[in-house]
Copies of this chain bind each other. A is one copy, B any other.
Amino acid sequence: MAGTSAAKGSGKTAKGSPEANAEAETAAALSKGRRDQPVPLTNDAKAPRTARGETTRRKILDAARAEFGSRGFADTGIIEITRRAKVALGTFYTYFDSKEEVFRALVRDMSEQVRLAVAPALAEGRGTLEGEERALAAFLDFVGKQQQVYRIIDEAEFVDPEGFRRHYESTAERIAERLAEGTAEGHLAEPGGALSAEVRAWALMGMNVFLGLRFGVWGKEDPAEVAAAANRLLREGLKAG
């Protein structure tokens, strides 16, 4: 399973051309993101102490993303990662404790990337539902280009269960907040209670994830059209009349 629509804040994070060099761009965005928040869960002992080290670490991380994203965790060897990163095998272990650890770092990265990919779209829409529609379109677009997202976040269920859960729980929470806001503003119907509110958020997330898989990764229909169709369902439901 992979990412889905995301947060409100930092709508200006991605300002440049939304297309070019997605990977590099996100890497940059991520770096910024990291400085915004304390980002605790990194291994201090292995943190680079020089600029050169920082560059190397990033090269490894990027290579790992590409490799895990295309071959999967089990079929990717450290050698392949370092070969792609153009560093020696041992260099990997200068920055990461194990294969699992890079993967974990990557899950955080990807989770954040998804959030950043949809954030601007959310802000654009007038009204909650329009925001969600645009976010879904942005998400479809994003996963179409970054298919690694799915492979990595889905595989986290097995390799990094905590990261996996964290990703979906925090995503659902952000959705829930947006829906609550929409309700407060009177655009959305009241949920029946707390459980109902949570059900709505998870249902919406599930929708998005599966539409992303079907129409972003496996097929490439027009994101806007798919988002529009989904939004109709979301607005009015299925019932006739």
Contacts and interface: CB of A to CB of B under 8 A. Distances in A.
Copies in the complex: 4
A207 interface: yes
Given A207-B203, A210-B203, A238-B179, A154 B189 contact: no
Interface string A214-241: 1100100100011001101111111111
A1 interface: yes
B200 A205 contact: no
B199 A229 contact: yes
Contact of A206 (B72, B186, B207): B207
Interface of A is mostly: helix
A233 B199 contact: yes
Nearest to A208: B206
B237 A237 contact: yes
Contacts of A203: 207, 210-211, 230, 233
B229 A192 contact: yes
Contacts of A214: 168, 172, 198, 202
A226 B221 CA distance: 32
Contacts of A187: 239-240
Given A214-B202, A233-B200, A209 B239 contact: no
14 contacts: A74-B158, A154-B158, A187-B239, A188-B238, A188-B239, A189-B238, A189-B240, A191-B229, A192-B229, A199-B211, A200-B233, A202-B207, A202-B215, A206-B210
